[in-house]
Structure formats: structure tokens, C-alpha cells
Chains A and B, each alone.
Chain A
């Protein structure tokens, strides 16, 4: 089945550690996104990529990093510089230039302990 796979679904991180969230899609979509969702704050865009080997900062990129070495993959690293990383992280994708309907993965819950 076509879709977006995020892993892990639940992750616990100690303060000062970097963690990487995986996102893989087999929809042949050009564009991929990372959002963060906190209670009462809606979806906030962290990074997005419209094409392989290119990505742009979203509204809250500080403390995060990404790479886009393959069309199918867009991993997100939450670094120790992110002061409040506990949140629900959502990866999404769309066709890019031909349409902007966004489809989401199941999400990853990150908790700092």
C-alpha cells in the first residue's frame, strides 16, 4: 500500500541527546514536510523539501535539522539545542508542483525525560 511511514511511533529522549525521526514515503511525491503539534497551538511547520538535496526552514526550524538525500526519505533530527522538544511530530508529503493536498504519516510522539 502507498503511504507515509514514520518511526518510531513513541520515543523518549534524555536531555542533551539528539534523536532522529524517520519518515519514508512510497507515493512518489516530490515535496515532504515536518510539522510539530502542541496542544492548543495547531500545526507548525519545521522544515520542508520540494526536491531531493534541497530543503527550506519553516516557521520553527531552530534546534532541528533535516536531510533529503533520497526522494522517498526525509529524516528529522531533534538536537539538544531544541529547548522544548516534547511534542507530536508529523511528517507529510504532496506532489509539489502539480497539487498541494498534503497527506500525513501516523506521527511520532517524542517525550523528553
Chain B
């Protein structure tokens, strides 16, 4: 059973701090990794994707991938109250790119 695991949280950080969200996956054949943000009652929206080991930065967001250790993380710098949401990690593999495996999400609360 291929799995993606996330700490459900809630993760609470003060405004302006760095929020660190982690995700581990079981399938070593995984090749694509996604972070989505979901506000309460809304649909998920894509934040970032990463395919290669290392860091990928986009504005205040940085995705970090370590395939050897089978984890992917999302760092949010200068956290804002508007970042308060659930963050979903999704993983895909070359064998079946069309079916992503989803984590249950981590709830993030940024306190003013």
C-alpha cells in the first residue's frame, strides 16, 4: 500500500516566523511531488511542485526534496495570517502519473 504521511497538526507559528511542513512517502518509485493549500470549505490550490532532489524556491515558499530519505518538505518564510490553511502533500510516480497519492494534510495556524 503506497502511502503519504503528514503530521495533522495543528502547527501554530507566530506571524513572521518560518513554518515548516513535512511529508514522507513510501513508494521509492515516486518522481513528482506537489504541495497544495486548502482553505476551509474551498478546493485545493497548487502551491508548488518539485521533481528533483534539493530545493526549489518560489517567493516565500521553498520545497525541499530528499528522495534517499523519502521526504519532501515545504517552508513558508515570513508567515502571514493568510497562510493559515491545510497543506496537502501529493506524490506521483512514473508508473501511474495520473493517480496521485495524497496525504491527509497539515493544518497551519499563523497567529498575529
Interface presence of A81 (CB below 8 A) = no
Residues from chain A with a CB closer than 8 A to the CB of B60 are none
B98–A96 CB distance below 8 A: yes
Interface presence of B87 (CB below 8 A) = no
Interface size class of chain A, counting residues whose CB lies under 8 Å from the partner chain: 20 to 34
Sample of 11 further A-B pairs with CB below 8 A, known A102-B100, A104-B44, A106-B42: A31-B98, A41-B104, A48-B99, A90-B43, A96-B98, A100-B98, A100-B100, A101-B46, A102-B46, A103-B46, A107-B42
Sample (30) of A-B pairs whose CB atoms are under 8 Å apart: A31-B98, A41-B104, A42-B88, A42-B103, A42-B105, A43-B44, A43-B102, A45-B99, A48-B98, A48-B99, A50-B98, A58-B99, A90-B43, A90-B44, A97-B97, A100-B92, A100-B97, A100-B98, A100-B100, A101-B34, A101-B46, A101-B49, A102-B34, A102-B90, A102-B100, A104-B44, A104-B45, A106-B42, A106-B43, A107-B42
